Every structure is written in C-alpha cells, then in structure tokens.
Amino acid sequence: MTQRGKFITVEGTEGVGKTTNLEFIRNWLQQHKVDFISTREPGGTPMAEQLRELLLQPRQEPVDQTAELLMVFAARAQHLNQVIKPALEQGTWVLCDRFTDATYAYQGGGRQMDTALIASLESLVQGELRPDAVILLDVPVEVGLARARDRGDLDRFEQEDVAFFERVRGAYRNRAQGNAHYHLVDASQSLEQVQTDLGAILKQLKEHWGS
C-alpha cells in the first residue's frame, strides 16, 4: 500500500517573500530526492485560476464578503479534488502557496467574518484533510507592504489599508500559537538566515516523517 504523501503549506501576509522562499523549498526538496508537486491557492487548476483572477482583480463594484468567501472555497474544492488529493494518495508530497489558513487570516481576520462559517465550509470542502505542516513567514505589516508596493501594481487585496493587514497578521499568528504543526519564520531577517531556518525546518520534518 502506498504511503500517503505529506501536505506542506506556506503562508504569510503581503511582502513576506513567499515567491523567493518557495523556490528555495522546491530546490531543497529536489536536492533531497523528495517526490513532490508545487501548486498555489487560489488556483492550481484552470477553473480555480479563473476564480483567482475574479478574486484578485481590482473592481469598482463592491465585492460581497460572502461571495468572496464562497469563491475561495469553490476554487479550493476544485483544486483539492483535481490536484491535491490525487497527488497525496499516490504518495507525492504537495507544496502549496497558501491554503485554508489564508482564509481564516484574510476573510476571518482581515474581513472580520465569522470563523464558525469558515470552519463549516472547511469541513464541507475538505472533510478531515488538513496540512501536515504550515510554514508561516512573518514580517511586520509596514515592512511587508513596502515590499509589496515595490513590486508594482497592487491587486484587490493588496490595496487594503494597514489595519486590515494588522488583523490578517494577528489571525495568522494566533493560529500558529501553541500548534506544533505550524513553523513560524521571522522573514524580516536576512534572506540567508530565513533560508537557513527553512532548511532546518524541512530537515526536521523529513526526519520526523521518516522519508
């Protein structure tokens, strides 16, 4: 019987360096002969990527919070059933740029939506499936937003105010507190130190999982 693959997600607010550090993680997994796929949320399938565009595109029409939440989980349902679950069942590890922790952070924290509603959708869409490990890249909000602005045009979420992102960061940190499968990384350090920390986390996880 094939051993189930491991599910690792990488989380963080704007400007934490997810793109750069995901590349480091991918390279590390390749070097250590781990069979994995890399994907992202929202997105990961053609339909889910279309939903991502709808979610991120700046627009004049106010976006209803419930509509936004349902689009996030619609994309997640498609992604899970088309990509994530089949890979895990085949014994392949899945590295995902954001997952449901982002929903608790952005819609629950940032939008101040009822987390019980998010939890009910989480159960409906995911069943018992949860990440085996969550790597949370953390920087002060002002630092992250300055980095995001330097990248160029801002998407619909990146245009939110500082208070929104303070709530997002707070929600992320609250979820990580006291939970052993969360790994908090201070992403305001030098890139070299951040990646040293990531390498240590990955080594620990690989040894713990015995693969």
pLDDT value for 145: 83
CA nearest neighbour of 88 among 2, 169, 206, 193: 2
Q: In the chain, which residues have pLDDT < 50?
A: none
- Listed by start position, the domains of the chain span 7-209
pLDDT number for residue 211: 59
Predicted confidence at residue 137, as pLDDT, reads: 98
pLDDT for the residue numbered 210: 82
Query: What is the domain class of 7-209 according to CATH?
Result: alpha beta
- Quote the pLDDT of residue 156: 75
Secondary structure class of 127 (helix, strand, coil)? coil
What global pTM score does this model have? 0.94
Nearest Cα to 13, choosing from 190, 195, 175? 175
